[in-house]
């Protein structure tokens, strides 16, 4: 979904041509919720509901932020996602213990400076591994 499509869906008008960054599907929870991510140094002045999530990354679910972006105040590093992941107490720790997740330090350069097409491959390289390391398939078996 493009920012212009998101604006139409939200019933908002666009004053300026919008960045080509699309809104990417996340989840699996709250897929109707849009989160806008951008570098902390690009926070929008006098706009509420912007949260520093650490490591130079700011996030906002606010329609006020979307409106500011639609009126020409878009951060250069803008990324958008729909949905989020959530866990019950201790669920994430259990999943990490089973190897379902590959935790690594958040890095704003990975989020904003690497193309979406290359982001996952780059994340695996930075962690010193590859996706094949997480498969349970044994070569030669059907």
Say what percent of the chain tops pLDDT 70: 90
Q: pTM of the entire structure? A: 0.81
Q: pLDDT band at residue 38, thresholds of 50, 70 and 90?
A: very high
Whole-number pLDDT of residue 141: 56
CA–CA gap between residue 49 and residue 65 (Å, rounded): 8
Worst-scoring range by mean pLDDT, 38-47, 48-57, 78-87, 133-142? 133-142
72 and 4, same domain (yes or no)? yes
- 107 and 140 fall within a common domain: yes
- Is pLDDT of 54 > 70? yes
Residues 113-127, mean pLDDT to the nearest whole number? 91
What's the farthest any 2 CA atoms get from each other in the chain?
60
Non-local (6+) Cβ contacts of 76 within 8 A are: 38, 39, 42
Among residues 86, 103, 134, which one ends one of the domains? 86
How is the beta sheet containing 57-60 ordered, strand by strand?
A: 23-25, 79-84, 29-39, 57-60, 51-54
**Number of domains the chain is built from:** 2
* Angle, CA of 111, 131 and 88, to the nearest 5°: 70
Mean pLDDT, all residues of the chain: 86
Residue 76 domain boundaries: 1-86
Question: How far is it, in rounded angstroms, from Cα 102 to Cα 125?
Answer: 12
**pLDDT band per the 50, 70, 90 thresholds, residue 13:** confident
Residues 69 and 22 in one domain: yes
Residue range 19-33, pLDDT digits in tens: 667 788 887 888 888
Q: Which residues contact 48 (CB under 8 A, 6 or more apart)?
A: 62, 64
Give the span between the Cα atoms of 125 and 61, in whole angstroms: 30
């Amino acid at each position: 979904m493009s920012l212009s499509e998101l604006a139409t869906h939200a019933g908002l008008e666009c004053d300026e041509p919008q960045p080509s960054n699309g809104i990417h599907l996340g989840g699996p929870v709250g897929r109707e919720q849009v989160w806008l991510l951008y570098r902390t140094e690009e926070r929008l002045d006098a706009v509420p509901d912007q949260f520093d999530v650490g490591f130079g990354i700011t996030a906002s679910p606010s329609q006020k932020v979307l409106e500011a972006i639609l009126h020409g105040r878009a951060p250069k590093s803008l990324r958008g996602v729909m949905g989020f992941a959530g866990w019950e107490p201790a669920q994430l720790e259990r999943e990490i213990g089973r190897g379902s997740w590959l935790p690594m330090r958040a890095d704003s350069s990975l989020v904003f400076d690497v193309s979406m097409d290359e982001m996952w491959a780059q994340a695996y390289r930075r962690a010193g591994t590859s996706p094949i390391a997480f498969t349970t398939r044994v070569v030669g078996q059907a």
